[in-house]
Chain A
């Protein structure tokens, strides 16, 4: 097996394993263990790829291409650029943590649950490595199917309404994208993303962007977000906000900006404004949210805005920062939602009014929530700070007021995150917090500590990603005003 086929392996290993788990009549424990093993194997395969990745070469690596249907020039073409490598890494790590969490809490109907989680892993990796538009679309949609069932079956009491909203919203965007793909592909004569020409069609650009701004989401396309993030099981929310939402911002970078330089420049102000609105509005909502999950959910909206701000700044610094921010926020958000899950398991709620004083006697929980919360509010020295700094530097070069709005968002981040931390850990003890509620157990620590450790490593060495995005080659970032 060559190293190139590892890219395909990353997609099809979890999907195959998911089907196997679905079919095999294993016990609950064996099913969970097998799923966790496969997800760790994914991490291993990714590490193998990352060590062999040549960051000096900014072209497509580990690529594989085979015709899918020739008459319309659609192919199975996968491969990784440096920035896709980082996002794939984020995916496999976050999915492994989420699967581990599902194993730890012992989800009902384990075969279906773990099968779907593994399929979600494969589909998400597929989105980040697909180099053919139709293949990209197929994986982009394929992510929805397991998510729909995961939220709808294992979610909270309002899950049915939430799933419908989530699916209709996202499908509305992606079906318009399908129309855009057809028009782009048939005009260009190929659906290949590497060979495909750039286009000046503003309609096609908007067709793509509508899918991405809903997925990311940006203001005012975030209507699906609050319900879905609240009703989904915590580990599913973690991957939704940490990984799946990144498919939206990744799409902006890989397709909308790279293939449509002229429309990008034309609509730059519009999308910068939407990003800034998402940043400020999301931060304000997070500050007003009465629940822990609400804070993290709305902060995800704000962070999506910040990432898009960097991407649409059209400045190298900003775009590099956006890639770093995608990975850093993916890890932070996964960690915070998993911690919110552990809090919910102990107190049955995530409402601030009923929580408080959890730090006392629970040092591990307090330390981990504090550390990831502090990283999340972009304290200087953290990975999020590095990302936000680069994004703001890029936005400033575009025009100074974008940087001002971005800075406001960062101040608000400190406000909502500190409020959330103190409402959970400090203040008077909440009515649902009992002494019997233990500190984090070994299993939970084994999931959350590695995530926080990864964040700390990234904080110490952010240039590892931001200097190795592979985007400095001309053609990726359109700097036109």
Chain B
């Protein structure tokens, strides 16, 4: 008889809720008549994500003492729970926008989209809690495969299939790098659990070992692909531009949360002895991401592409927090992730609304007058963009302040200066979008909307409102958020 480990079902309840909802959404693809598929599947997804938020908040409350569960493969602690809350909230917003925006006019396969959305979020929730290399790799593949399909799901949209294929090829390359790195580390230490790697490295004094260093480098590269940090970013603009905007919005927010939360945990837990290596590596990647993301964004005309580059530059800012490897850096990273997710998702959702109105990809030119035509979406976009630029209209300002403080505390004033300069450059293109929306009347540029008054898009507006509340509210509620982040960080070894 095979002996099975004791399973703490509650520790993985968020994942189970999301997977359950995913299964129900898949069933609805078969059982529900075509006309009702879209609302039914979207409601199931939204409810699933609400359930996921509830269980992960509950998990956060009840996991004050972080510990390993299920034979040491999964971390039940507040770091996991915090990241899961963000992922589920992004998923909730994603299902609201997807309700109206995915594959409009073709309802045959709509339920499958929500099934995949739930499944990928479940994979991410598993990923952030993984405590050994095997679980980490499997859950990475799990959510990546769901994302590959989601990128290509709207095959009527120009570039959607191409985006899916590109993401598949380059994403697989990244996964392969990660897997190779895992193999090297395993080869050197004979352990796959994070804590075990650290203890063997400590006991046998392996921290300068070639296998460990190379393995660490490959793992960092693999995670760099997922978090779209330069120089592993080349897929990002194409995929973000080609994928259906709902998927782009979800990916830009949730994937980053998963990749960064896991990266911080992995580095702190498995590689504390190599901190001098990975902190410099991440600082280098941060500088590259800030430079490439911001400079390339300057010349973009397509708004989705520009926001894709902006997401690369924000990966750079978050990497500043990550590279310090300190408790303050961890807090800064989590706070940044909350605010960034809201702003990134919200801004892509607004782009989705404009895209639907015009029926063409959104460029700076055809954004003209949008702010006045759709006041709420315009104002929301205004807040997201100024927040991205670090102006004090939302938590984006405090987030930047925190990562810079972490860098300074680490003794890296030069990194603060780099970040400040990058922020200055980023103003240029964020303002270009505001300028396009408000300061150039549509009549001047002869833009014809596809037809009649814009649709009401209640669900999309609700999702944007959610993002707006989070991004502005985080400016006023810094203390509670930081307290939560502090508790989450406390569950990691320092």
Which residues of chain A have a CB within 8 Å of any CB of chain B? Answer: 22, 67-72, 109, 134, 137-139, 141-142, 144-145, 148-149, 152-153, 159-160, 163-164, 167-168, 171-172, 175-176, 178-179, 182-183, 186
Is B391 within 8 A of A186, CB to CB? no
Is B424 within 8 A of A172, CB to CB? yes
Q: Which residues of A contact B372 (CB under 8 A)?
A: 109
Is B439 within 8 A of A160, CB to CB? yes
Is B393 within 8 A of A145, CB to CB? yes
B479 within 8 A of A: yes
Q: Which residue of A lies closest to B413 (CB)?
A: A183
Is A152 within 8 A of B391, CB to CB? no
Docked Cα-Cα span, A168 to B392, in Å, equals 16
Docked Cα-Cα span, A168 to B424, in Å, equals 7
Chain A interface secondary structure, helix, strand, loop or mixed?
Answer: helix
Closest A-B pairs by Cβ, 6 of them? A138-B392, A69-B478, A152-B439, A175-B420, A179-B420, A69-B479
Is A175 within 8 A of B423, CB to CB? yes
Docked Cα-Cα span, A7 to B190, in Å, equals 64
Docked Cα-Cα span, A167 to B428, in Å, equals 9
A152 touches which of B397, B413, B438 (Cβ 8 Å):
B438
Is A68 within 8 A of B479, CB to CB? yes
Expressed in whole angstroms, the minimum distance between the Cβ of B394 and any Cβ of chain A is 11
Is B424 within 8 A of A171, CB to CB? yes
Docked Cα-Cα span, A37 to B393, in Å, equals 25
Docked Cα-Cα span, A159 to B435, in Å, equals 10
Is A178 within 8 A of B392, CB to CB? no
B101 within 8 A of A: no
Is B420 within 8 A of A144, CB to CB? no
Our count of residue pairs bridging A and B at CB distance below 8 angstroms stands at 85
Is B428 within 8 A of A168, CB to CB? yes
Chain B, 374-416, CB within 8 A of any chain A CB: 379, 386, 390-393, 397-398, 400-402, 404-405, 408-409, 413, 416
Q: How many chain B residues touch A (Cβ–Cβ < 8 Å)?
A: 37
B77 within 8 A of A: no
Interchain Cβ contacts under 8 Å between A and B, 9 examples? A69-B398, A164-B435, A167-B427, A171-B424, A179-B404, A179-B413, A179-B417, A179-B420, A182-B401
Docked Cα-Cα span, A182 to B478, in Å, equals 17
A72 touches which of B391, B393, B405 (Cβ 8 Å):
B405
Q: Which residues of A contact B465 (CB under 8 A)?
A: none
Docked Cα-Cα span, A148 to B393, in Å, equals 14
Q: In this complex, which of A71, A149, A168 has the most chain B Cβ atoms within 10 angstroms of its Cβ?
A: A71
Is B408 within 8 A of A186, CB to CB? yes
Docked Cα-Cα span, A253 to B397, in Å, equals 25
Is A152 within 8 A of B424, CB to CB? no
Docked Cα-Cα span, A145 to B392, in Å, equals 9
Docked Cα-Cα span, A153 to B437, in Å, equals 10
Q: Which residues of A contact B479 (CB under 8 A)?
A: 67-70
Docked Cα-Cα span, A176 to B372, in Å, equals 34
Expressed in whole angstroms, the minimum distance between the Cβ of A19 and any Cβ of chain B is 10
Expressed in whole angstroms, the minimum distance between the Cβ of B198 and any Cβ of chain A is 27
B431 within 8 A of A: yes
Docked Cα-Cα span, A446 to B409, in Å, equals 55
With A142-B392, A145-B393, A160-B435 in contact, is A182–B424 under 8 Å at CB? no
B486 within 8 A of A: yes
Q: Which residues of B contact A175 (CB under 8 A)?
A: 390, 420-421, 423-424
B331 within 8 A of A: yes
B484 within 8 A of A: no
Expressed in whole angstroms, the minimum distance between the Cβ of A266 and any Cβ of chain B is 21
Supplied contacts A71-B482, A148-B434, A178-B420, 18 more A-B pairs, CB within 8 Å: A69-B479, A71-B486, A72-B402, A138-B392, A148-B431, A149-B434, A152-B435, A152-B439, A153-B439, A159-B439, A160-B435, A160-B439, A171-B427, A175-B421, A175-B424, A179-B404, A182-B401, A186-B408
Is B393 within 8 A of A164, CB to CB? no
Q: Which residue of A lies closest to B486 (CB)?
A: A71
Is B482 within 8 A of A69, CB to CB? yes
Docked Cα-Cα span, A179 to B413, in Å, equals 9
Is A71 within 8 A of B331, CB to CB? yes
Docked Cα-Cα span, A163 to B434, in Å, equals 11
Is A176 within 8 A of B393, CB to CB? no
Docked Cα-Cα span, A186 to B402, in Å, equals 11
Q: Which residues of A contact B392 (CB under 8 A)?
A: 137-139, 141-142
Q: Which residues of B contact A179 (CB under 8 A)?
A: 404, 413, 416-417, 420
Expressed in whole angstroms, the minimum distance between the Cβ of A64 and any Cβ of chain B is 15
